[in-house]
Every structure is written in C-alpha cells, then in structure tokens.
Amino acid sequence: MNATAAASPVQRPLFQTIDMLTASQQRAIRAIAPHDQAQVPAIEARRPVSMFTSDAFFQLEQERLFRRQAVPITISARIAEPGSSVAHDGYGVPLLVTRDKDGAAHVFLNACTHKGAKLLDGCEVAKGNRLTCPYHAWTFGTDGKLIGAARPETFVNLDKGARGLAELPSREAGGIIWAMLDRHAEPDFSGVDEQLAADFAAFELPDLHVYGHKQFHLNANWKLVLEPFLEGYHVQRLHARTVGPLFADVPNVVDTLGLNIRQISGKMQFTPDCLDIPGENIHASVTHAYNVFPNCVIVTSPYYISVMFLMPTAPDKTTVDYFMLTRRPPDNPKGAELYRKSYEMIIGVFGGEDFYAAEISHAGLRTGAIDEVVYSGLEATIPLYYDILDGVLEK
Ligand code: FES
Ligand SMILES: [Fe+2]
C-alpha cells in the first residue's frame, strides 16, 4: 500500500451532491426506477469459451486492439505534480509516464538511449524534472530530451537532439492517460470520449488524492476480471457476506459514451425521493460504474473512487493496478480511520471476491467442461460490451 498523507491546498467538500454532476449523469440518475418497479429482462446471450482461453483470440486482441488503439495507462493523479515520473510495466512493455515541468503528461518507452537500461524501476513516483539513468548516468528531462551524458568528450558525433527518449502518442482527458503501445501504428484515440471526460471531471478525478495503490497478478483472462464490473447478478451472491446486502438485485441505467459504458444504479436504500434531499451525498445512494474501453473500471463509493486497469499479459494472466482515490488526504483521526477501513474492505471485496471469482471461473473454463458461457438479464451489459469489442476487433 502506498498511503500518503501529503497536505493538499485544496479542501474540497468530503462528498458530492447531485448538482455537482453533469446534466447527463443527473438525467441517468433520475432515470433509475424505484426498486419495486424495476424490470429485469430475460435474455438469451451466449459467448464461446475460446474467447477467454485461446491463444488465437488473445493474439487477435493484442494485434487489433491493444497494439492498434490507444489504451488507458494510468490516472493523471498518479503524476499530479509537474516534474513527476513513474515506471509502468503492467502491459508487459516497460513504460515511463511523466509530467513535465509545464504540466504536460508524456508516455515513453522506459529505455535509456545509451544502452537501453530502464531509467526507473518499481512503483514509486520519482519527483524532479530530471531522470538519471542508473547505468552510466545519462540524464533526461521529464519531457524526454537528453540533457547530458557523462564524459561527453569520449563520444564522437553524439547528437544529443536525436537521442531523446522514444515517446508514445498519448492523450490525457478527465483524469485518465491513454497511450498507443505501438508507437509505429497509426494513432487511434477513438476510445477517448468528451462526455466520458466530462463525467470524470465532474467527479474531480484529475485532482483527487491517491490514497492507496495495489497491484494484483491474477491467473485469469482479463475479460473474466472485467465481467463482474459489468453486471449486478453476482453482487448479492458472491458478496453475500460483505457488500451484497447494500445493493439491490435490479438492472442499471446503462449508457454508451463512445466505446465506453456508464452504468448507474440505486443502492438498497435508494428511492427517487432521496435525490431531492438538499445536501445529500449522491454517492451514498447511487453507484456509478464505468468501463473505460477496453480495460479500465471506475466505481464510485460514498467517500472514495476506485480505478482499476486490467492489463492482459497472457491469455490466462492479468495484472491489475488498483487505485483508491479520496477527495482529500486524511486530515483527522476519524477521516483517517474511515479511509483505512474502506481501503481494507475494498481490497478484500475486489481482491478476495471479484478477482477470486475470475480465477476460479478461468480454471473451470479451461477444463473444457462447457463450450459457451450464458448470460442473464441481470448481466445484459456484458453482451453489450462484447458487441462493442467485436466491432473494434473486426475493424
Ligand atoms: S544505459 Fe543509460 S547511461 Fe548507459
Ligand atoms: Fe463484485
């Protein structure tokens, strides 16, 4: 865990009210039916097991999606201050994510231009406008320019201007940084959506405090890790002993924002009337769950936001970067205790229940016991997601 208590000059309110959200979010929230009037459709939807287990499908996803379209890399808040850098290895490609002294975010290949050494290792955020290679001490700016080489007089024709770090096309919007993993591919940022960025800006995602970060290495296909965040069917069952009783067994209000999906649902105590109580914490009665296409999940809770990047490294291996973001650093013992308990709880629920479910599901699918997975009306967002995925893979 990387819990920090750095002081923030911003004392934003501890929670949000409905009026702080976008018109589109408010419209979706007001479309939530009272639980006793919610209609769960019956559906027939199936998907072949091979899309989770086969090498061929994994290769297809890598070629047509992960290497051809910009993918979410990390949160802006991870490198909040100008002059910040962090290594990022989740996709199996060593990356270096920086914010330069002018505040622009960059994503580089994490390879020194002398002899390829990784400039940074581990998961700590480095502060400062310069990065010095541990091998022979070449120094780079956070903008990727080569600033200096040790003993420069011993090189003939060393063109410093041509030896900057290899940069990947990237974009930052709504507190998320996207990049093309293949820098030679035609840049495609079709997953970055204005409405999505506006929703996240309404959550103040770019400026939230990174309370905790944990990395998980899972033995499951990345889409099996994603699926529980696209459906409510499992919530009262898998999470029966933890958070299940907080959630109602009803469908979400679902919208697509470009390739991304927004799901909004009322918690157990939700009634349409509670939206009109002045000063109410909107995240106490309503849950937002987003899929940032294809593999990032954002879930709201009353006092924090969870952001997860599900990064495939093999058909049956996924690295998850989990971040818990709070609206402020803990600044009093009661707040600190609330955040500590929330972090422990959410790591237990996501790690010990959702990720566990993905692993046991993958283990069972690999046996060949079934050829197809079937989805219910309470899982209807999963086939919707796969229709979007198919559209991209078929391009
Ligand atoms: S490999 Fe970086 S300075 Fe030599
Ligand atoms: Fe879950």
Name all residues whose Cβ lies below 6 A of ligand 1: 112, 114-115, 117, 133, 135-138
Q: pTM of the predicted model, to two decimals?
A: 0.96
The ligand minimizing its distance to the Cα of 115 is 1
348-352 contacts, C-beta under 8 A, 24 or more apart: 348/242, 349/239, 349/242, 349/243, 350/306, 350/308, 350/322, 351/214, 351/216, 351/322
* Cα 311 to middle of ligand 1, angstroms: 28
With the most atoms of ligand 1 within 8 angstroms of its CB, the residue from 108, 119, 120, 133 to mutate is 133
- Cα–Cα separations (whole angstroms), residue 101 to 6, 111, 191, 264: 20, 21, 27, 38
**Under-50 pLDDT residues of the chain:** 1-8
Distance CA 97, CA 87 (A): 6
Closest ligand 1 atom number to CA of residue 117: 1
Residue nearest to atom 4 of ligand 1 (CA): 136
- In this predicted structure, what is the pLDDT of residue 56? 98
Question: What tokens does 31 get?
Answer: 């479309």
Residue nearest to atom 3 of ligand 1 (CA): 136
Residues 272-308: tens digit of each pLDDT = 999 999 999 999 999 999 999 999 999 999 999 999 9
- In this predicted structure, what is the pLDDT of residue 395? 83
With the most atoms of ligand 1 within 8 angstroms of its CB, the residue from 96, 114, 155 to mutate is 114
- Phi and psi dihedrals of 187, rounded to 5? -60, 130
- In this predicted structure, what is the pLDDT of residue 11? 78
- In this predicted structure, what is the pLDDT of residue 12? 87
Structural domains present in the chain:
18-67+193-393 (3.90.380.10), 71-179 (2.102.10.10)
Are 236 and 245 within 8 A, CB to CB?
Answer: yes
279: left (phi over 0), alpha (psi -120 to 50) or beta: left
The ligand minimizing its distance to the Cα of 233 is 2
Q: Residue 182 is which amino acid?
A: D
With the most atoms of ligand 1 within 8 angstroms of its CB, the residue from 119, 136, 158 to mutate is 136
Q: 168-199 b/e with 16+ CB inside 10 Å = b? A: bbbbbbbbbbbbbbbeeeeeeeebbbebbbbb
- Cα–Cα separations (whole angstroms), residue 279 to 14, 19, 201, 274, 330: 12, 9, 20, 10, 22
Closest ligand 1 atom number to CA of residue 119: 2
Q: 233-246 b/e with 16+ CB inside 10 Å = b? A: bbbbebbeeebbee
The ligand minimizing its distance to the Cα of 348 is 2
The ligand minimizing its distance to the Cα of 357 is 2
Residues 1-37: tens digit of each pLDDT = 344 444 445 578 999 999 999 999 999 999 999 999 9
Closest ligand 1 atom number to CA of residue 116: 1
Are 183 and 174 within 8 A, CB to CB?
Answer: no
Q: Is the peptide bond before 383 cis (omega within 30 degrees of 0)?
A: no
- In this predicted structure, what is the pLDDT of residue 7? 44
Residue nearest to atom 1 of ligand 1 (CA): 115
